[in-house]
Structure 1
Amino acid sequence: MTETVPHITFVCQKNGGKSQMAAALLRDLAGDAVVVTSAGTAPGASLNAQSVEALAEIGVGVGDEHPKALTAEMVEASDVVVVLGSEAQVVVGPGTRLETWITDEPSERGVTGMERMRLVRDDIRPRVEDLHRRIR
């Protein structure tokens, strides 16, 4: 009996920060045991440098990732689509589970810079770990 490899897609609006962080964390945790994609509903031009730095602080890299637009094919190929935040809206078909993670936004409390990125990373990380446990 062959097992299928789960395919997870992380989505946010710009695909430069939160969804990229979640994807990098899951890739680091699961390796080849999971196919991981990230995309945005209105992708920006580049990754958030502080997001990349916050991941590097814990030994996680983003590789050659860059912001990309979410496509219907990405959604259809996914077993689970995780939307980070409330700005991006995604519709999935039968057989694809949709999760929405309302993440902490420290900037709403006046926290900015690297302190903000560390808090965002530390909010997303346990959610990714929980997702990894649930899809194995």
Structure 2
Amino acid sequence: MPTTTSNDELPGVLFLCVRNKGKSQMAAALARLRGEGVIRAFSAGTHPGDAINQTSAESVAELGADMSGETPQGVTPELLGKVGLVVAIGGEVDTTALEEGGVPVERWVTDEPSLRGIEGLERMRIIRDDIDARVRALVESYRSRGA
């Protein structure tokens, strides 16, 4: 007989980028979609911006994920207390203090299509698909552990 797990008992994952406007919000939205009942997904930025990147929101909405109601936020001790893993998205995110504090950190350096001259929604779709594949693998790793 299956057991019921409350949402608070699920492992928490914090997706972290610099501005918390696009990539970390995309990852959290996709993780909420792909990992429902498996993980709790949060996002934050080391230097949060003012508003969500609307092109990012549009791209994840095409897959059924929603980040439209989110607001960029910073990292807080309360937020860190809810997670067992921080996924730093991008090479520019400084995670030194987290790692020195004993927080497990995984880094994802995602595709950057703008380096190839690809912009706009096409760029976001490529980034989204890269993040989505990584989120699916992460969720599957938690699912296979029975976490």
TM over 0.5: yes
Query: Unpaired segments of 5 or more residues in structure 2?
Result: none
Q: CA deviation at 1:60?
A: 1.4
Query: Unpaired segments of 5 or more residues in structure 1?
Result: none
Aligned-partner Cα distance in 1 for 2:94–2:80:
12
Aligned-partner Cα distance in 2 for 1:48–1:2:
36
Q: Map 1:34-73; keep pairs closer than 5 Å.
A: 34-62=39-67, 64-73=69-78
Aligned-partner Cα distance in 2 for 1:76–1:103:
26
- Residue type of the alignment partner of 1:98: V
- Identity rate of aligned residues, in percent? 43
Q: CA deviation at 1:63?
A: 5.0
Report what 1:33 is aligned to: 38
Q: TM-score, normalising length from structure 2?
A: 0.84
Aligned-partner Cα distance in 2 for 1:8–1:44:
21
Aligned-partner Cα distance in 2 for 1:77–1:57:
29
- Residue type of the alignment partner of 1:113: G
Taking only aligned residues, the RMSD between alpha carbons, in angstroms, comes to 1.8
Does 1:19 pair with 2:24?
A: yes
Q: CA deviation at 1:97?
A: 2.3
- Residue type of the alignment partner of 2:108: W
Q: CA deviation at 1:134?
A: 1.1
Aligned-partner Cα distance in 2 for 1:33–1:131:
10
- Residue type of the alignment partner of 2:137: D
Q: CA deviation at 1:32?
A: 4.1
SS state of the match for residue 31, structure 1? coil
In structure 2, which of residues 136, 139, 142 is the aligned counterpart of residue 129 of structure 1? 136
Aligned-partner Cα distance in 1 for 2:119–2:69:
26
Count of matched residue positions in the alignment of Structure 1 and Structure 2: 135
- Residue type of the alignment partner of 1:101: W
Deviations 1:4-48 (A, max 9, x none): 310000000000000000000000112243221100000000000
Aligned-partner Cα distance in 2 for 1:31–1:128:
12
SS state of the match for residue 35, structure 2? helix
SS state of the match for residue 23, structure 1? helix
Aligned-partner Cα distance in 2 for 1:63–1:102:
24
Q: CA deviation at 1:54?
A: 0.4
